[in-house]
């Protein structure tokens, strides 16, 4: 739970200003984290699109409210 949002914002701002990595390095980190999530069972690549259509319909319905 985040109890001090301004402190967290400052942390992220400092991190962004001081951590300079290339897109290639960022993608490599993402790829490693993705594979770790798959190995842990937290993310199953075979069902990535299962609920996409339902989410898309819901997003369209929400976005159309008030138009």
Residue 15 lies in a domain: no
DSSP result, 13-47 = HHHHHH----HHHHHHHHHHHHHHHHHHTS--GGG
Give the domain range for residue 54.
21-67
User: How sure is the predictor about 66, in pLDDT bands with cuts at 50, 70 and 90?
Assistant: low
Residue 10 lies in a domain: no
Residue 5 lies in a domain: no
Residue 6 lies in a domain: no
Residue 46 lies in a domain: yes
Q: Each residue of 2-37: pLDDT tens digit? A: 888 999 999 989 988 888 888 889 889 999 998 898
Q: What is the pLDDT of residue 7?
A: 92
Q: What is the pLDDT of residue 17?
A: 87
Q: Each residue of 36-60: pLDDT tens digit? A: 988 888 876 666 677 788 888 888 8
Residue 11 lies in a domain: no
Total count of domains within the chain: 1
Residue 8 lies in a domain: no
Q: What pTM was estimated for this model as a whole? A: 0.44
Q: What is the pLDDT of residue 28?
A: 92
């Amino acid at each position: 739970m985040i109890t001090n949002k301004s402190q967290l914002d400052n942390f992220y701002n400092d991190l962004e200003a001081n951590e300079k990595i290339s897109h290639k390095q960022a993608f490599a980190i993402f790829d490693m984290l993705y594979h770790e999530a798959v190995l842990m069972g937290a993310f199953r690549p075979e069902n990535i699109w299962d609920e996409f259509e339902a989410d898309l319909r819901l997003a369209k319905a929400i976005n159309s409210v008030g138009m």
